[in-house]
C-alpha cells in the first residue's frame, strides 16, 4: 500500500483537511453529554426553563457546527479518494501498456480487468473511509474515556477495561479475515475470467450446444466464491454482536456503579447520564471502526494485488533514441543492407512452454518483395511474423530490419516501419475516420481514401451515411467480417509502412476481393515489403518467396512452382484445395 500512496501527493491539502474537520466535529460531539448533564442537573432539577432553552440552543449550535464540519470533511475526503484512484488507474493502465505480450499472456485479461476496476474501487473506498474515520473514531473513543475521568475517576475505570477488550476483538477479527479477503479477490478473478470467456465465445458455445456445461462450470466457480464470501462474512459479522455484548455489559455495570455513586452523593444524575452517553458514543464509534477495519482489510488486500502488477517488469527493453538519430540509423541501414527483414537462425519459446514454437528459422527477404507464409494450424506462422514488430523476442538468434537488430530500434521507429494487421480484426467505438487515423494521426482525407481503395474498402465506405464519419460500434459489431478486415488493412496502410504484415487478415474476403487486394498491394509505391500469412494457397502462390512451416520448422522456401516440385507439405496443402488437374 505504501507504494501506492504516491498518488495522494497531489492531494496533500485534502488529506490534511478531511481528518482535521472530522476531529473538529468529534470535539463538538464530545461536549454534547456535558451539556445534557448540565440541563438535567441545573435546568430540570431546579425547574429553570430559560436555562434549559439556552442549553437547548447550544445543543442545536453544536449540531449545526458539527454538520458543517462533517460535510466539509466528506468533501475533502471524496476529492482526495477520487483523485487518488484516477491517478492510480492512469498509472496502472500505462504500466500494463508498457508490458510485452509475454507478460500480458501470463497475467491474463480477466486479472488485469479486475485490478483496473474492482481492486482500484476497493482501494478508493479504503482511502475515503480512512480519511473520514481513521482518526475520528479513536479520537472519540479515547476522548470519551478522558471526559469520563473528568466526571468520576472510579466509574471511568470501566472505560479503561472495556476499550482494550473491544480492541482485542476488533483487531483479532481483522487479522483472521485479511488473508481470507485475498482469496475472495482471487476467486472473483476466476468468475470474471469465466464470464468473459462465455461472453466472448457465446456464438461458439451455442453452436456446439454447450450452454448447460458452461452454466454448470460458472455456477461451480461462483459457488466457491459465494461460500468463501459467506465464511468471511460470518467471521466479520461477529464484530457487531460481540462488541454490542461487551458495550451493553459495560453500560449495565456503569449504571449499577453510577446508581451507587449517586446514592453516596459523589456524582449527580446528569453525570451518570453523561457517562452512559459517552459509553454509547464509544459503542457507535467502535462499530464504525470495526466496519472501517473490514474496509481497510479489503483495501489492503486489493492494494497488494495492484502492487504485484506494478512490480512486474517488461521482459523487453527498448532503445531511447532521439528522432534525428533514428532517421540517421535508418538511412545508414538502407545503404548497408539490401534486405528488408532477416531471420538469422531464430528460435522462439513462449514463457512457460515446454517446447520451442519456432526452431532455426533462417530467411532473407529483399526490399519490395512479397513473402507468403503458409502451413498447418499451429505451425508457427503468426509466431514468425510477430517477431518482426517485436511483439515477442527471439529466445535465440537475431531478427533484423534493414540490417539492424530489432532490439536496437526505439519503439516509435519500429512501429513506423512495420504495419501489422492481426488475425482478429479489432476496431474501436467511434467513426471510420477515427479508426483509420490510428495509422497516422496527421493523415489527410485523400490519404485515407487512397488506403481504403487499396484495401478494397472504398466502395462500402462510400455507401454508408456519413462515409468517413460513419459510426463504428465497439469491436465493429455493426460491420461484417470482411468489412472489418478491410478496414484494419486500410488502417495499417494509412501509416505508409516499409513492411506490411497481413496475418491471415483476408480470411473473410471472397476470392475476387482477395485477388484485387493482392493486386493493389503489388502496386503500392516505393519498396514496400509485404508478408502474407494465409491458409489459402491462392493468396500466396504469386508471392516472390513462399515460406512453408510445419511444427515450428521451415520445411520449404521458394516460389510456387519450385515448392510444388520439392516440398511435400506445400503439395499436400495445395492439392487439398485444388485438384491436381488445376495445378500449374
What is the predicted pLDDT for the residue at 322?
Answer: 46
What is the predicted pLDDT for the residue at 336?
Answer: 63
pLDDT at 477 over 60: yes
How many C-beta atoms surround the C-beta of residue 249 within 10 A? 13
What is the predicted pLDDT for the residue at 80?
Answer: 92
Return the CA Rg of the chain.
35
CA–CA distance, 543 with 531 (Å, rounded to integer):
9
What is the predicted pLDDT for the residue at 331?
Answer: 47
| pLDDT tens-digit readout, 149-174 | 888 888 888 888 887 888 788 778 77
SS3 labels along 549-577: EECCEEEEEECHHHHHHHCHHHHHHHHHH
Burial of 579 (0-12, 13-18, 19+ CB in 10 A): exposed
What is the predicted pLDDT for the residue at 330?
Answer: 46
pLDDT band at 71 (very low <50, low <70, confident <90, very high): very high
Whether the Cβ atoms of residue 543 and residue 529 lie closer than 8 Å to each other:
no
Instruction: Give pairs for 170-176: CB < 8 Å, separation 24+.
Output: 170/239, 170/243, 170/286, 170/289, 170/290, 170/293, 171/293, 173/235, 173/236, 173/238, 173/239, 173/290, 173/293, 174/293, 174/294, 174/296, 174/297, 176/235
What is the predicted pLDDT for the residue at 64?
Answer: 92
Which pTM does this prediction carry?
0.71
How far out from the chain centre does Cα 434 lie?
A: 24
What is the predicted pLDDT for the residue at 76?
Answer: 93
What is the predicted pLDDT for the residue at 536?
Answer: 81
Q: What is the DSSP string of 338-380?
A: SEEEEEEEEEE--TT-SS-SEEEEEEEEETT-EEEEEESTTSS
Range 380-384 average pLDDT: 87
Range 400-411 average pLDDT: 87
pLDDT at 483 over 60: yes
Using CA of residue 222, residue 228, residue 233, residue 234, what is the dihedral sign? positive
How many C-beta atoms surround the C-beta of residue 536 within 10 A? 18
CA–CA distance, 100 with 318 (Å, rounded to integer):
11
Mean pLDDT of the chain: 84
pLDDT at 325 over 70: no
Whether the Cβ atoms of residue 367 and residue 75 lie closer than 8 Å to each other:
no
Taken as a whole, the chain contains a residue count of 584
- Alpha carbon dihedral 147, 151, 152, 153, in 10-degree steps, equals 40
pLDDT band at 321 (very low <50, low <70, confident <90, very high): low
What is the predicted pLDDT for the residue at 155?
Answer: 80
Question: Which residues make Cβ contacts (< 8 Å) with residue 26, sequence separation at least 6?
Answer: 136, 139, 140, 143
What is the predicted pLDDT for the residue at 324?
Answer: 46
CA–CA distance, 36 with 372 (Å, rounded to integer):
89
pLDDT at 583 over 50: no
φ and ψ at residue 107, rounded to 5 degrees: -70, -45
Percentage of the chain lying above the pLDDT 90 cut: 5
- DSSP-derived 3-state class of residue 489: helix
Q: In terms of DSSP H, where are the helices of 337-480? A: 381-386, 411-417, 432-436, 445-454, 458-462
pLDDT at 39 over 90: no
**Cell numbers at 121, concatenated:** 474501487
pLDDT at 55 over 50: yes
CA–CA distance, 483 with 508 (Å, rounded to integer):
9
Q: In terms of DSSP H, where are the helices of 47-200? A: 49-98, 101-107, 109-114, 120-129, 136-151, 153-200
| pLDDT tens-digit readout, 301-314 | 888 888 888 888 87
What are the CA-CA distances from residue 552 to residues 12, 113, 356, 378, 559 (Å)?
56, 32, 7, 8, 20
> The cell 429553570 sits on which residue?
48
How many C-beta atoms surround the C-beta of residue 265 within 10 A? 7
pLDDT at 227 over 50: yes
Domains of the chain: 2-310 (1.20.1560.10), 326-582 (3.40.50.300)
CA–CA distance, 451 with 129 (Å, rounded to integer):
54
| pLDDT tens-digit readout, 420-445 | 888 888 888 888 888 888 888 888 88
Helix then strand then coil, % of the chain, to nearest 5: 70, 10, 20
Instruction: Give pairs for 53-60: CB < 8 Å, separation 24+.
Output: 59/32, 59/35
CA–CA distance, 443 with 432 (Å, rounded to integer):
13
**Cell numbers at 300, concatenated:** 489492503
The 10 Å CB-count burial string (b at 16+, else e) for 348-362 is bbbeeeeebbbbebe
User: Among 69-73, 504-508, 521-525, 542-546, which stretch is predicted with the lowest mean pLDDT?
Assistant: 504-508
φ and ψ at residue 476, rounded to 5 degrees: 65, 35
Range 484-494 average pLDDT: 88
Using CA of residue 129, residue 132, residue 134, residue 140, what is the dihedral sign? negative
φ and ψ at residue 245, rounded to 5 degrees: -60, -45
DSSP element (H, E) containing 244 = helix 239-264
Amino acid at each position: 500500500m505504501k507504494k501506492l500512496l504516491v498518488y495522494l501527493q497531489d492531494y496533500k491539502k485534502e488529506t490534511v483537511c478531511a481528518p482535521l474537520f472530522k476531529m473538529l466535529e468529534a470535539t463538538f460531539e464530545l461536549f454534547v453529554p456535558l451539556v445534557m448533564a448540565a440541563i438535567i442537573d441545573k435546568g430540570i432539577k431546579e425547574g429553570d426553563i430559560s436555562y434549559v432553552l439556552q442549553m437547548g440552543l447550544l445543543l442545536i449550535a453544536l449540531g449545526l457546527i458539527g454538520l458543517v464540519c462533517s460535510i466539509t470533511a466528506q468533501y475533502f475526503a471524496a476529492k482526495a479518494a477520487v483523485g487518488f484512484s484516477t491517478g492510480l488507474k492512469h498509472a496502472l493502465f500505462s504500466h500494463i501498456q508498457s508490458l510485452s505480450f509475454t507478460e500480458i499472456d501470463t497475467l491474463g485479461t480477466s486479472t488485469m480487468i479486475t485490478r483496473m476496476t474492482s481492486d482500484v474501487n476497493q482501494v478508493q473506498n479504503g482511502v475515503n473511509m480512512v480519511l473520514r474515520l481513521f482518526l475520528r473514531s479513536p479520537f472519540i473513543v479515547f476522548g470519551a474515556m478522558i471526559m469520563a475521568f473528568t466526571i468520576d475517576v472510579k466509574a471511568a475505570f470501566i472505560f479503561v477495561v472495556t476499550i482494550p477488550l473491544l480492541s482485542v476483538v476488533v483487531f483479532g477479527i481483522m487479522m483472521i479475515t485479511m488473508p481470507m479477503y485475498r482469496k475472495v479477490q482471487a476467486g472473483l478473478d476466476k468468475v470474471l475470467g469465466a464470464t468473459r470467456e462465455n461472453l466472448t465465445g457465446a456464438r461458439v458455445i451455442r453452436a456446439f450446444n454447450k450452454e448447460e456445461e458452461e452454466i454448470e462450470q460458472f455456477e461451480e466457480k461462483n459457488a466457491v466464491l459465494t461460500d468463501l464470501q459467506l465464511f468471511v462474512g460470518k467471521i466479520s459479522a461477529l464484530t457487531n454482536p460481540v462488541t454490542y455484548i461487551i458495550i451493553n455489559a459495560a453500560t449495565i455495570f456503569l449504571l449499577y456503579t453510577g446508581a451507587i455513586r449517586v446514592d453516596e452523593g459523589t456524582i449527580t444524575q446528569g453525570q451518570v447520564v453523561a457517562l452512559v452517553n459517552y459509553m454509547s458514543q464509544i459503542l457507535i464509534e467502535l462499530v464504525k471502526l470495526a466496519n472501517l477495519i473490514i474496509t481497510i482489510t479489503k483495501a489492503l488486500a486489493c492494494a497488494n494485488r495492484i502492487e504485484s502488477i506494478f512490480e512486474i517488469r517488461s521482459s523487453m527493453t527498448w532503445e531511447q533514441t532521439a528522432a534525428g538519430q533514428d532517421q540517421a540509423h535508418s538511412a545508414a541501414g538502407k545503404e548497408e543492407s539490401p534486405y528488408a527483414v532477416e531471420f538469422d537462425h531464430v528460435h522462439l519459446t513462449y514463457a512457460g512452454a515446454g517446447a520451442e514454437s519456432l526452431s532455426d528459422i533462417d530467411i532473407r527477404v529483399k526490399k519490395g518483395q512479397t513473402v507468403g507464409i503458409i502451413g498447418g494450424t499451429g505451425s508457427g506462422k503468426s509466431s514468425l511474423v510477430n517477431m518482426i514488430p517485436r511483439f515477442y523476442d527471439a529466445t535465440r538468434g537475431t531478427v533484423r530490419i534493414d540490417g539492424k537488430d530489432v532490439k536496437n530500434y526505439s519503439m516509435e521507429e519500429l512501429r513506423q516501419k512495420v504495419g501489422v494487421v492481426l488475425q482478429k480484426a479489432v476496431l474501436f467505438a467511434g467513426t471510420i475516420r477515427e479508426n483509420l487515423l490510428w495509422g497516422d494521426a496527421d493523415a489527410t482525407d485523400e490519404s485515407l481514401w487512397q488506403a481504403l481503395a487499396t484495401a478494397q474498402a472504398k466502395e462500402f465506405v462510400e455507401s454508408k451515411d456519413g462515409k468517413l464519419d460513419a459510426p463504428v460500434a465497439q469491436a465493429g459489431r455493426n460491420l461484417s467480417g470482411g468489412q472489418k478486415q478491410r478496414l484494419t488493412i486500410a488502417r495499417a496502410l494509412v501509416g505508409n509502412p516499409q513492411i506490411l504484415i497481413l496475418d491471415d487478415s483476408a480470411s473473410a474476403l471472397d476470392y475476387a476481393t482477395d485477388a484485387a487486394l493482392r493486386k493493389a498491394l503489388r502496386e503500392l509505391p516505393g519498396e514496400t515489403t509485404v508478408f502474407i500469412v494465409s491458409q489459402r494457397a491462392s493468396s500466396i502462390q504469386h508471392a516472390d518467396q513462399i515460406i512453408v512451416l510445419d511444427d515450428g520448422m521451415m520445411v520449404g522456401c521458394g516460389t510456387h512452382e519450385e515448392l510444388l516440385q520439392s516440398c511435400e507439405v506445400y503439395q499436400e496443402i495445395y492439392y487439398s484445395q485444388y485438384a491436381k488437374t488445376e495445378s500449374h
